Structure 1
Amino acid sequence: MRLTFAIVLAALSAAPALAADPDGSRWWAHVETLAGPQFEGRMTGTSGYDRAADYAAQKFRAYGLKPAGTKGYLQPMTFTEQRVLANQSSAALVAGGEAQTLRVGEDILFGARIPQPKTVEAPLVFIGYGLHLPEVGYDDFAGQDLKGKIAVYVNGGPGDISAELKAHSRGSETWRAAQAAGAVGLIALANPKSMDVPWVRQIQNSGQPGMFPADDALNEVRGQAFSASFNPAEAEKLFARSGHTFAEVLALADAAKPIKGFDLAQSLRAQVSTQTSQVVSANVVAKLPGSDPKLAAEHVVVTAHLDHLGVNTTGKGAPYYAGALDNAAGVASVLEIARDMAAAKARPKRSVLFVLVTGEEKGLLGSKYFAGKPSVPAASVVADLNMDMALPLWTFDSVLMYGVDESTLGDTARKVSKAAGLEVVADPYPDRNSFIRSDQYSFIRAGVPALAFKFGFKPDTPRAQIEKTWRATRYHALADDLSQPVEKAEAAKFNVFLGKLIFAVADEPERPRWKETSFFKRFAK
């Protein structure tokens, strides 16, 4: 039996009241603390992150929530940390026995999330969008000779493929297709129109270490593989001998049309100097037991990532990256919702796990670990609701939910939104790949219906301009600090909405299920 509107209303009546934190002051107090100097930017694997994890665990304990990690409230894991030493690395384009030097930084940046080979020299092949989606009749890898070559692709995709599918075909899926085709590496080209981090900031952040699981069996890409991104402002260098131009490619990408691949008629030669070490970091996991004798054995998971970018090593500006809205704000929402649900007279029927994950900024590492090795029986996890960079920068009268059309979890969320007077809006920028860039995607890959939430906005509106400006000036920048304007009372309304949704999902008679039309149904266990 599907959830009726009456059941939703019953769940809403049991949820925490807005009066608990009407001006958002309690929520903001957590943000101020987590974005403060004592946690030094909360970098995965650092003592600053560990102190932030302890702060969250102490709050969960004070609220009366049970420890649900593998070591009390913690679920530790080990990562290999890899730093690319840019000043000791080099790259060049090679053709006809001549080499054109590339500037590490201004032209090309080497990836740090996959073990890099020390040296590589291989022909370059452009493969369009680099999408591998044979299930919907689109495959940029089909017919390409990539054995021993480096594949170059541009972000985006045809307009008749959903944002969710295009995003899903990025990251690990691109690597799987590339390695299956025999490629030895990938170079990513951003489309300037969907590029949310300016290249100058990418250079500044390139000193950040990448990370991957120390246990190679947990890595989605096995062994070493060359990975890099290329400055789109300099990308014509890649196309100079191909008979094509990057401008032609961008014109097709901007029109969301298919792009055929072609040989770039030159090779890349690179030397990549890296430094590796091992670090340990932990998810923080707390449990609110359910009230129903049968349904309490099932778990609704509520997530937010606790980590950020750590200390500032540039020598300019603030000493650390505060990460106030990315994602101290999301952690603060989880803490406030946990507090209110624990204090409420009525308990949800299913149990609720509040999970603050590590390593999101390094490739969703903590959520991948938890989704693959949960601290409760895997079959008991019925849904994930994720809070990451919701951006309370305007009135909370609409909500953006990634994955809303993929499962009945989205149907429940639409009903709760309607009861709260909230409009549900579509992803305004499908080529940002936002669907796979936050922790709910780890649960989707594990077969668990999941949603991620942001304050809603539509393209070509004043709110869209606010959001674009925030990303251009504050996202992964020192300016994501406590001095920025934030609508605290609206954030409190957001928290109340999420608390009511958690109740509704936890009280639904049936667990959420994938829709028959969903591509992601294939991951269901």
Structure 2
Amino acid sequence: MAMKPIRMSLAVIAAVLAVNGAPGSLAAQAEAAAAGAETITAADLRFRIGALAHDSMRGRATPSPELDKAARHIARRFEEFGLQPADGDSYLQAYPLTASRAGAPGRQLVEIDGPGGGALAESDYIAVAGGRGQAAGPLAIVSLTAADPPTGAIALMRVTPEDTRRALESIRGVLESGAVAVLLAIDASDDYFDAIRRFYEGERLSVGVPEELGAPIAFVRASALPETLQAALSAGGSTNAYEATVRTHSEFREERAFNTIGWIEGSDPDLRDEFVVLTAHMDHVGVGRPINGDSIYNGADDDASGTAAIVELAEAFASLETSPRRSIVFMTVSGEERGLLGSAWYAQNPLFPIGATVANLNIDMIGRNWRDTVVAIGRDESTLGTALEETLREHPELGLEMIDDPWPEENFYIRSDHYNFARKGVPILFFFTGTHEDYHGPNDEADRILYEKTARITRLIFHLGRRIADAEGRPEWDPAAYRRVVEGGRG
């Protein structure tokens, strides 16, 4: 039987180098890295997650006083560790929100004029909060990739459940092209259609000052459309046999929320103006429908686990006597659960240049499921995947196995904050251990977190972040992935 290869941790390597008279700087760097990683402990994570996911935090909804409390709590930790505030003299990046809610069903209407047409039942359409008004005109079938309807037409777009976010992002362009209303025809199960209704008829948040879409917008059940129109829509054709009337109503309110951001300046004069950004979202879904008498949706895994990891990483990097060559940014964002709002605001209003941001390592839900396996979404898209593999080989003491996304049908790639960085051309890795039976429920509590595993994952991200920050070159995209994600958009 062949002997197993001997594998040593950085701490052991440092000791060997020191004994054998290796350059002191190399030994010191290895020792410093090991010591920094050791500041990340299961006990610290238990304390931090317990505080963020406590019932008194009422699920940290965006916006809410409790979420503001979390943001300020994290800011105090950043200050305590000696991080620099990212926004002048403040660790808080405030951003404006518009809250919109669809009006009463009696104020909505979707009516199709043409063969087999008529008014749709209220159960067959969903008025999208944010749009309002009444419009009438010819129906024009347009696609997501070529949304150029005739002026004065009502655009009819066929979307799949996976396309909903991409479709909503394209609505403004459709309206600017001349459409007077938009109908999104979706093939979806009753359960999924009901889920869309709960999301889009309830209060919605959008980034920015109050701004009306200026036109009625609605999802419609594709099977409720006239058969001739369904056929044309499925074939991607056109029709001049139908007109429509669409009426919706929304009410608006101004709000605001915070991102919390601190940073450590790099030690290399030639590289300190480049940035490695570490992110997690500190919000959750707030208070909801009671289940077994519990209405507080604590969000311990989603994503107090990632938020606590960011705080631990900030402490670990701050403990280093010499900071990494590139600067490190630590960011906990809000509004993820309402549509990646905080990271969207940051991507449009960065406090550090996006073009100088060499990588985003995003952490969302790392506290449950497997004890030794982590999903790293995006690792096939850039050389960050290679850096991750090298880091794992160098740290067998972590006992972690990294796998590709086993749930591609869930579209997790577009469902967390790294997505807003990737779309801007920043290479990303998204660390994730999957959803579970307590996902978005009141049982996502702190006592269900696997703290020792969460600590090991956080140490891995520390070592990886340090490797990226100290590397001679920047991470590089795979050209095909860049075309797909950045140039073509990933729906």
Is the 8 Å Cα contact of residues 46 and 446 (structure 2) preserved in structure 1? Answer: no
The alpha carbon displacement at 1:215 in A equals 4.5
The one-letter code sitting in structure 1 at the alignment partner of 2:317 is M
SS at match of 1:40: helix
Residue 391 of structure 2 corresponds to 416
Where structure 1 has 5 or more consecutive residues not aligned to the other structure, the ranges are: 1-5, 133-138, 158-165, 250-258, 457-466
Q: In the alignment, is residue 238 of structure 1 matched against residue 256 of structure 2?
A: no
* Aligned residue among 200, 217, 220 for 1:227: 217
* Aligned residue among 147, 155, 178 for 1:150: 155
SS at match of 1:341: helix
SS at match of 1:509: coil
Q: Using a 3 Å threshold, how does the CA distance of structure 1 residues 416 and 211 change in structure 2: closer, same or farther?
A: same
The alpha carbon displacement at 1:75 in A equals 1.0
Q: Deviations over 1:409-443 (max 9, x none)?
A: 33323332444465543333434333222211212
SS at match of 1:312: strand
The one-letter code sitting in structure 2 at the alignment partner of 1:108 is Y
* Aligned residue among 469, 473, 476 for 1:506: 469
The alpha carbon displacement at 1:125 in A equals 5.9
Aligned-pair Cα RMSD in Å: 3.9
Q: Which has the higher mean CA deviation after the structures are superposed, 181-190 or 31-40?
A: 181-190
Residues in 1 aligned to 2:169 and 2:238: alpha-carbon distance in whole angstroms: 23
Q: Using a 3 Å threshold, how does the CA distance of structure 1 residues 418 and 240 change in structure 2: closer, same or farther?
A: farther
Residue 313 of structure 2 corresponds to 337
Q: In the alignment, is residue 440 of structure 1 matched against residue 458 of structure 2?
A: no
Percent of residue pairs identical: 27
Residue 427 of structure 2 corresponds to 449
Residue 99 of structure 1 corresponds to 118
Residues in 2 aligned to 1:482 and 1:83: alpha-carbon distance in whole angstroms: 30
Aligned length: 457
Q: Using a 3 Å threshold, how does the CA distance of structure 1 residues 167 and 374 change in structure 2: closer, same or farther?
A: same
State how 1:152-167 maps to structure 2 within 5 Å.
152-155=157-160
Residues in 1 aligned to 2:104 and 2:446: alpha-carbon distance in whole angstroms: 33
State how 1:345-384 maps to structure 2 within 5 Å.
345-384=321-360
Residues in 1 aligned to 2:321 and 2:269: alpha-carbon distance in whole angstroms: 17
Q: Deviations over 1:219-260 (max 9, x none)?
A: 9xx843443445xxx6421354436499xx7xxxxxxxxx64
State how 1:9-28 maps to structure 2 within 5 Å.
14=33, 19-21=38-40, 24-28=42-46
Q: Deviations over 1:162-218 (max 9, x none)?
A: xxxx899555257536754747314252655xx9x85555555556422223358xx
Is the 8 Å Cα contact of residues 303 and 365 (structure 2) preserved in structure 1? Answer: yes
The one-letter code sitting in structure 1 at the alignment partner of 2:315 is R
Residues in 2 aligned to 1:188 and 1:324: alpha-carbon distance in whole angstroms: 36
Is the 8 Å Cα contact of residues 349 and 507 (structure 1) preserved in structure 2? Answer: yes
* Aligned residue among 302, 308, 311 for 1:326: 302
SS at match of 1:281: strand
Q: Using a 3 Å threshold, how does the CA distance of structure 1 residues 37 and 239 change in structure 2: closer, same or farther?
A: farther
Q: Deviations over 1:51-92 (max 9, x none)?
A: 111111112222222222245111111122112234554334
Residues in 1 aligned to 2:360 and 2:445: alpha-carbon distance in whole angstroms: 29
Q: Using a 3 Å threshold, how does the CA distance of structure 1 residues 265 and 342 change in structure 2: closer, same or farther?
A: farther
Residue 176 of structure 1 corresponds to 173
The one-letter code sitting in structure 1 at the alignment partner of 2:214 is Q
State how 1:36-115 maps to structure 2 within 5 Å.
36-96=54-114, 99-103=118-122, 106-112=123-129, 115=130
Residues in 2 aligned to 1:405 and 1:296: alpha-carbon distance in whole angstroms: 27
Q: Using a 3 Å threshold, how does the CA distance of structure 1 residues 301 and 239 change in structure 2: closer, same or farther?
A: farther
Residues in 2 aligned to 1:264 and 1:330: alpha-carbon distance in whole angstroms: 52
Q: Using a 3 Å threshold, how does the CA distance of structure 1 residues 483 and 281 change in structure 2: closer, same or farther?
A: closer
Q: In the alignment, is residue 185 of structure 1 matched against residue 182 of structure 2?
A: yes
Is the 8 Å Cα contact of residues 138 and 242 (structure 2) preserved in structure 1? Answer: yes
Residues in 2 aligned to 1:489 and 1:264: alpha-carbon distance in whole angstroms: 63
Q: Using a 3 Å threshold, how does the CA distance of structure 1 residues 287 and 147 change in structure 2: closer, same or farther?
A: same
Residue 459 of structure 1 corresponds to none
Residue 133 of structure 2 corresponds to 118
SS at match of 2:455: helix
Larger RCO, structures 1/2 (Cα 8 Å, 6+ apart): 1
Residues in 1 aligned to 2:240 and 2:53: alpha-carbon distance in whole angstroms: 46
Residues in 1 aligned to 2:120 and 2:213: alpha-carbon distance in whole angstroms: 28
Residues in 2 aligned to 1:262 and 1:426: alpha-carbon distance in whole angstroms: 40
Residues in 2 aligned to 1:346 and 1:337: alpha-carbon distance in whole angstroms: 15
Residues in 2 aligned to 1:126 and 1:432: alpha-carbon distance in whole angstroms: 27
* Aligned residue among 259, 268, 273 for 1:292: 268
The one-letter code sitting in structure 2 at the alignment partner of 1:187 is L
Q: Using a 3 Å threshold, how does the CA distance of structure 1 residues 426 and 268 change in structure 2: closer, same or farther?
A: farther
SS at match of 1:296: coil
Residue 206 of structure 2 corresponds to 212
Residues in 2 aligned to 1:423 and 1:337: alpha-carbon distance in whole angstroms: 20
The alpha carbon displacement at 1:446 in A equals 2.6
The one-letter code sitting in structure 2 at the alignment partner of 1:224 is G
The alpha carbon displacement at 1:116 in A equals 0.5
The one-letter code sitting in structure 2 at the alignment partner of 1:117 is R
TM-score (norm 2): 0.78
The alpha carbon displacement at 1:149 in A equals 2.0
Residues in 2 aligned to 1:273 and 1:169: alpha-carbon distance in whole angstroms: 23
Q: Using a 3 Å threshold, how does the CA distance of structure 1 residues 266 and 36 change in structure 2: closer, same or farther?
A: farther
Residues in 2 aligned to 1:174 and 1:420: alpha-carbon distance in whole angstroms: 47
